[in-house]
Structure 1
């Protein structure tokens, strides 16, 4: 009888363990320098202190695009349990890069997606992001492009004639894509968009890229639709410095937005419980030396254990 109860207890313990969800950690994809060496990764358990993986060396060397760069790497974990990444391949091309991986170590063949090939005058495709929308069961990829003469009212607002607006395409399989369309135009030079969703509302963090007069700050727009009707931008959520490359995550009950204080060559962050009132927590965060902006995302701790075990050359 004792043996019976012991075995029953073990069975119930194992059954309860099967229902437990694996612990998640925070990962950060980023680039260094001009993006020549490719994808870098860091991890954190608290969202404040970040440690480099692979001795702060690249996990993936860029192979597509004329310049073969891997700037602004955006990584998400899809519902298919695979990681999907898009990135900026060049300063002056009409496409972006894409690759997928089950573990962030072994990657698919890199793919060049010519998202602006239909625009003969398009100068660039910068800072692409990918976001999975559970409501429509599809991915949206969005980025910023300058098309000279398209928005003449802000033609002189940017650096070196760049006058960006955000564009997007959608896909379910990264093989076929919807027609490229305009995502965000509220009458100013805009770049570095990143999406989050809460309580049925889409939250678009973005950079006001206006140079004349200088803005160079992070703001928020919202919509109840994935790819339309985003609001005018909020007041800046960043301070009296130039910021770019925002990426957002909810930690406990507060939102944290990381960004690149690129003129100061360091990372910054702000935190908010309500997406309205923001506190600058830049002095409390630590990132690996040389970190440029990228994407924060959550992943199972088992993924981190494999990343820490491997040393890539």
Structure 2
């Protein structure tokens, strides 16, 4: 009896240890308190506002917080003026970053039918050297060289050490071999401004389309392949290879854990810091449920993936749509969190025309009543670009654009990262010249000048009269 009890105890202990191990894998934890976190770049939905660039941050990879108060951080001003499916690419030495996105704006002048059969052949690209100050966007024509290529969707890119450049890949709808469908094409690039002639990269048999695919590099000693890719092609199909452009081997799919391509799409990889655990985020598009993670200790084995319980992860206040997750360095994390805190947006109300507010209109700046859209008059008061104890005014609906004086006239202008721009867009908030309970804004680089309106246009002027003091006084409202 005692021997049986001992065997039962040993068996129970083994089961408990096994379950504990599974629980650890199923709920990845942050490796250490000092580890930096993760940055997700994504869009949020249809319409001209939802189809822009948004950022979220996580300390553990499963609980996400919206940056910038849940507002967009970059807005496309080129092509269709909307973007989806952004990829965030870091150069191997960390000196450059690119965001590459689909040029597509559904429900803002373009339908799904239009975008499938006669969509943009371009991708939208931004570039940065610090992850926080971004260039103006440009269009990169990737599908124009594909005979009868009808669109360019869901771009991704990966550094290829064998060729010392990037493999850029995306989906294009094109007739080929008697079948019109989306296939994955690729081209090489070193700067995301020019590309080689596109080639077919992934094609499924018959009429089966493939649109979303993303590749992860796996360290030596984990699984059977150096690279694993997950694709949305009717299933979430996993494949492995030892070379990005080499032969890929089918590994299986995630139907064994109840996830098929009719339920989820937009696979998005990440690796948990300091662990041998990976997350694969999948967009529950069929139920409009947004992203959910599955985790694994071996990306190349479908049986190793585990779904996460709904309460074990939190995606933040905005819906996350197909994007990219970057493991941050400590320096990158500090920059990102400092650049996009959840600063509330407000308006600047005129003191002597209290039904009027500062607003931008075709990049000119004036005071108007009854502003539509209201976001044309909403700004975030950021720490001054040029000095401590100062403020700069960043547009809500054109993030990265600030109120800036030029020849004493005001414009809404894109921050080009220069010291000249920073000085022109920086002000000291002081007691209102006409009413100390309000505010006036003194120029950083012309300290005897203030922001004021004149004939409803915003100017930078010296103020010497009672009228001028009224014109230069504002209230920051919510």
TM-score range, shorter chain: 0.7 to 0.9
SS in 2 for 1:128: strand
Confirm or deny that 1:165 pairs with 2:194: no
5+ long unaligned stretches in structure 1: 1-21, 156-162, 209-214
Task: Write out aligned runs for 1:293-312 (5 A).
Answer: 293-311=322-340, 312=394
Superposition deviation, residue 147 in structure 1: 0.5
Paired residue for 1:45? 59
SS in 2 for 1:189: coil
Give the Cα–Cα distance (whole angstroms) in 2 for the partners of residues 126 and 171 of structure 1.
17
Q: Which has the higher contact order (CA 8 A, sep 6+)?
A: 1
5+ long unaligned stretches in structure 2: 1-33, 105-114, 341-393, 397-478
Distance verdict in 2 for CA 1:239–1:194, change over 3 Å: same
Distance verdict in 2 for CA 1:170–1:101, change over 3 Å: same
1:141 to 154, 159, 168: 168
Task: Write out aligned runs for 1:1-313 (5 A).
Answer: 23-34=35-46, 36-37=48-49, 38-65=52-79, 67-81=80-94, 82-90=96-104, 91=115, 92-148=119-175, 150-152=176-178, 155=180, 163-187=181-205, 188-198=208-218, 199=220, 201-208=226-233, 215=234, 217-232=235-250, 234-236=252-254, 239-240=258-259, 242-251=263-272, 252-265=275-288, 266-275=290-299, 276=301, 277-281=304-308, 283=310, 284-288=312-316, 289-311=318-340, 312=394, 313=396
1:72-115 per-position Cα deviation (integer Å, ceiling 9, x unaligned): 01102212422211100023111211111123321112121111
Aligned-pair RMSD on alpha carbons? 2.1
TM-score (norm 1): 0.81
SS in 2 for 1:258: strand
SS in 1 for 2:146: coil
**Contact 1:271/1:278 (CA < 8 Å) preserved in 2?**
yes
Superposition deviation, residue 180 in structure 1: 0.7
Give the Cα–Cα distance (whole angstroms) in 1 for the partners of residues 182 and 236 of structure 2.
15
Paired residue for 2:8? none
Superposition deviation, residue 229 in structure 1: 2.0
**Contact 2:143/2:150 (CA < 8 Å) preserved in 1?**
no
Distance verdict in 2 for CA 1:278–1:202, change over 3 Å: same
Give the Cα–Cα distance (whole angstroms) in 2 for the partners of residues 239 and 282 of structure 1.
13
**Contact 1:40/1:57 (CA < 8 Å) preserved in 2?**
yes
Give the Cα–Cα distance (whole angstroms) in 2 for the partners of residues 108 and 137 of structure 1.
24
Give the Cα–Cα distance (whole angstroms) in 1 for the partners of residues 164 and 194 of structure 2.
15
SS in 1 for 2:269: strand
1:251-306 per-position Cα deviation (integer Å, ceiling 9, x unaligned): 11112100110122221111111221210115222112222121111122332223
Distance verdict in 2 for CA 1:225–1:240, change over 3 Å: closer
SS in 2 for 1:104: coil
Superposition deviation, residue 123 in structure 1: 1.8
Superposition deviation, residue 225 in structure 1: 2.0
User: How many residues get paired?
Assistant: 275
SS in 2 for 1:234: strand
Structure with the greater alpha carbon radius of gyration? 2
Q: Which of 223-232 and 48-57 deviates more?
A: 223-232
SS in 2 for 1:116: coil
Give the Cα–Cα distance (whole angstroms) in 2 for the partners of residues 122 and 233 of structure 1.
30
Give the Cα–Cα distance (whole angstroms) in 2 for the partners of residues 268 and 23 of structure 1.
23
Paired residue for 1:8? none
